[in-house]
Amino acid sequence: MHTIEHDVERPDRDAVAAFEEIPSTVVSDVTGNVGLTMDAGLSPVADGTDLAGTAITVKAAPGDNLIIHKAITMAEPGDVLVIDCDGYTDVGHIGELMCESCRAHGLAGLVIDGGYRDCREIAEMEFPVYGRGVNPQGPLKQDPGSVNVTIVCGGVSVDPGDIIVGDDDGLAVIPSDGAEEVLELARAKVESEDAVREEIQDGTYLFERNGYDELFENLDVVGPEDSIQ
């Protein structure tokens, strides 16, 4: 069944903007490392990519981009199009002109679990785009698809209104109803890492500081004298 939902409950824009300073690795750490980090198959089109915005979700038929065109007209400044194409990469579902339209209307970025094309032009555009693969073949335009429904992108369930954070390391998803808590934890984590970085620069080993030496001693490690020759 195809569904188009126009009403999206978006989180506070200031809260979303605050995540622009938070690395995806920190978001992953404070949310438990599992379930909210998209898989490594989704990568930025260009190095040096940073992304933070509110998800407008799209469920597109593999090989078809009609619903993606529709979703672009529904998105607002600061939104991120998050598109589920079932990981299909035999077609470039989006390209330079569609991304140019997104940028012209103030979108924060685009994430597609599927193929895209015009990778060089998109990279030069400096508009944040993540995808699963590149293919020059154009898509069909005949399947209605759905907008603003729950989708799965990069192995993660995404709802409209969730916050998407991305950089060169990858993409993390923050459920909208827990954004303030995640932001508070992330800021504390960044401050903690800054302090640890100073210790490292002074010569401290993480191995000792974090107690890994004690953990290592409790493991059954075989030395050379105990090895079977």
Three-class secondary structure of residue 206 per DSSP: helix
Question: What CA–CA distance (Å, rounded) separates 67 from 223?
Answer: 61
CA geometry: angle at 42 spanning 36 and 43, to 5°? 115
Per the document, the length of the chain is 229
What is the structure's pLDDT at 94? Answer: 98
Roughly how many angstroms between the first and final C-alpha of the chain, as a whole number?
Answer: 65
What is the chain's pLDDT, residue by residue, as a tens digit (229 residues)?
789 999 999 999 999 999 999 999 999 999 885 569 999 999 999 999 999 999 999 999 999 999 999 999 999 999 999 999 999 999 999 999 999 999 999 999 999 999 999 999 999 999 999 999 999 999 999 988 999 999 999 999 999 999 999 999 999 999 998 899 999 999 999 999 999 999 999 999 888 888 887 777 777 665 556 555 5
DSSP letters spanning 133-186: EE--PPPB-----EESS-EEETTEEE-TT-EEEEETTEEEEE-GGGHHHHHHHH
Question: What CA–CA distance (Å, rounded) separates 68 from 56?
Answer: 11
Q: What is the DSSP-derived secondary structure letter of residue 207?
A: H
Full-model pTM: 0.91
CATH topology of domain 13-176: Glucose Oxidase; domain 1 (3.50.30)
- All structural domains of the chain with their residue ranges: 13-176
80, 171 Cβ separation under 8 angstroms: no
Question: What CA–CA distance (Å, rounded) separates 204 from 163?
Answer: 36
Kindly calculate the radius of gyration of the chain based on its CA atoms and give it in whole angstroms: 21
93, 60 Cβ separation under 8 angstroms: yes
What is the structure's pLDDT at 38? Answer: 97
CB atoms within 10 A of CB 159: 18
Which residue type, as a one-letter code, is found at position 133? G
Nearest partner of 130 among 174, 99, 161, judged by Cα? 99
